[in-house]
Amino acid sequence: MVRLFVAIDITNKKVVDTAIRVQDLIRRNNIKATFSNPNQLHITLKFLGEIQDTLIDEIKNALSKIHFNRFSIRFEGIDAFPSILRPRVIFIDVEHSRELETLYKAVDKSLSFLRIREDKRFHPHVTIARIKSIFGWNKSLVDELKSIDINSTEEIIEFKLKQSVLKHSGPEYIDLMSIPLG
């Protein structure tokens, strides 16, 4: 069994720098959290979970049939699930776009044979921290996070099938396949 997901890698310097800045802010406030590796930032299009190794080629074949043009995405600001006042996941929000939504649906449809049901609607974002305890979380920290303006874009030229290897130091992501956009 392998843990798989489909994602778009994010390499925009302003986004990476913002992720590091937010992580430092959380650390300085002594908030108990785990942090995404700034060199592995991504937008998850579809989390597949634990999949039998024998299905990898079928998944690759299905994804290779997706033909899609390049497009740009815009990064907005800092937000959280379920809310910025009681966060569990801190993320950089991505502006909803027709292209990103259509790519998500194409990936979902191509992998429908796996019968993976989505629990929630697609909300494109870049996870930067997972909060373990909100002890110490306060209004001034929320205000500082909300004041961070990213206002940056990135051209999306590919998406990837990735393997997530869970380690004590945090997940390691291995690219299994890259699907270029036209």
* Residue 117 in this model has a pLDDT that exceeds 80: no
The residue-averaged pLDDT of 146-173 equals: 93
* From 42, 67, 96, 123, active-site residue: 42
Written as six digits, the tokens of 151 are 């206002």
Question: What pLDDT was estimated at residue 153?
Answer: 97
Does residue 119 have a pLDDT over 70? Answer: no
DSSP code of 17? H
2-178 CATH fold = Cyclic Phosphodiesterase; Chain: A, (3.90.1140)
Round to whole Å and give the CA distance between 23 and 118.
29
52-103 pLDDT tens trace: 999 999 999 999 999 999 999 999 999 999 999 999 999 999 999 999 999 9
Residue 168 a catalytic site member: no
Quick one: pLDDT band at residue 120, thresholds 50, 70, 90? confident
The helix/strand/coil state of 132 is: strand
Count other Cβ atoms within 10 Å, centred on residue 52: 9
Write down the pLDDT at residue 116: 84
Contact yes or no for 120/57 (Cβ under 8 A) = no
Tell me the domain boundaries of the chain.
2-178
Q: Report pLDDT for 122.
A: 92
* The pLDDT value given to residue 50: 95
106 pLDDT more than 90: yes
67 is catalytic: no
The H or E element containing residue 16 is helix 13-28
Residue 104 is classified by DSSP as: H
Tell me the pLDDT of the chain averaged across its residues: 95
